[in-house]
Amino acid sequence: MTITLHETTIPPVPSRERWGKYIFWIVLAILLAWSFGPSEIYKATGLVTYGSNMGKYASGFLEPNFHDWKYYFEEMLVTVQTALWGTFLAAVFGMPISLLCSNNIAPIWVVQPVRRLMDAARSINELVWAVFFVVAVGLGPFAGVMAIFVNTLGVFGKLYSEAVEATDPRPVEGIRATGASKIHEILYGVVPQVMPLWISYTLYRFEANVRGATILGIVGAGGIGQVLFENVRGFYYAETAALMLMMIATVAIVDIISQQLRRIMV
């Protein structure tokens, strides 16, 4: 009796998969080369050549000037308050709207137009919205609130609805089978499932909006941005440094608080 030795063969990587990888790297290289000139990457050498300038600028930051801290603090507080209201309004309106953006809840002829509307709200930067709202409701933080609200609504419409579409349909069917209405199905079957994600997204976005709100003052939509802009333009290094340190501290505090909130609520 002969024993046939059987060699183990390793199946080759499918050629489509292999070529897909090559094409990805080739396309990326072409895009980077194409963008090299227009984005002035060749100036990177200047980082070294003008290093001394940057050093001078940076040394100015070593001695922050906090003499106006009360004023800075007030403006920083307004910035946070602006972000808080903008995010809150976006969350309140975003929850029902995100259901209209979800293919497993709403019919396609509702989902598509609402999604495109959310795309529009999101793709226009909050700074641009702020310019519009300054014209519409006048200078001040309320224009900032509206700008953050509209931009964040677009973000929540998308993020919240992605959470809704990822829900497990079985608990919803369990509620449906008891004879409950569609609204009850959503409130008892869908919402408890998406709540942890919705809360996380909202808190994360609040942090991002505090950051975003710090520049809205540049176009007159309130907050610390105005002060920062004036100081940067006037080359007041020490004051600019103080302002930036306050921003860093604020974002860190917001981050710590939101992390605690997430732990309690999720």
Partner 1 sequence: MSTIQIASLSKTFANGTRALDNLSLNVRSGEMVALIGASGSGKSTLIRHIAGLVEADTSHHSSIEVEDRIVQSGGRIAKDIRNIRRDIGVVFQQFNLVGRLSVLTNVLTGRLGQMPLMAGALGNFSLDDQRNAMKALERVGIASTARQRASTLSGGQQQRAAIARALVQGAKLLLADEPIASLDPASARRVMESLVSINREDGITIIVSLHQVEYARRFCQRTIAMQSGRIVFDGPSVALTNERLTEIYGSASEELVLPDASDLNGLTAVAA
Of 132-171, which residues contact partner 1 (CB under 8 A)? Answer: 170-171
Residue 178 in contact with partner 1, rule: CB under 8 A:
yes
CB of 95 to partner 1, least distance (A): 13
Q: Which range, of 35-43, 85-93, 183-191, 207-215, touches partner 1 by CB under 8 A?
A: 183-191
Rounded CA separation 248/242 (Å)? 10
Q: Are 222 and 144 in contact (CB under 8 A)?
A: yes
Residue 180 CB partners (closer than 8 Å, separation 6+): 188
Rounded CA separation 190/193 (Å)? 5
CB of 185 to partner 1, least distance (A): 9
CB of 170 to partner 1, least distance (A): 4
CB of 121 to partner 1, least distance (A): 27
Residue 196 in contact with partner 1, rule: CB under 8 A:
yes
Residue 262 in contact with partner 1, rule: CB under 8 A:
no
Q: Which range, of 22-30, 136-144, 173-181, 229-237, touches partner 1 by CB under 8 A?
A: 173-181
CB of 105 to partner 1, least distance (A): 16
Count of positions on this chain that bind partner 1 (CB under 8 A): 20
Nearer to partner 1, 65 or 193 (CB): 193
Q: Residues in the chain, how many?
A: 266
Residue 187 in contact with partner 1, rule: CB under 8 A:
yes
Binding partner 1 by CB under 8 A: which of 92, 137, 184, 235?
A: 184
Residue 193 in contact with partner 1, rule: CB under 8 A:
yes
Binding partner 1 by CB under 8 A: which of 11, 12, 107, 179?
A: 179
Binding partner 1 by CB under 8 A: which of 181, 234, 248, 252?
A: 181
Residue 266 CB neighbour total at 10 angstroms: 12
Residue 38 in contact with partner 1, rule: CB under 8 A:
no
Nearer to partner 1, 31 or 187 (CB): 187
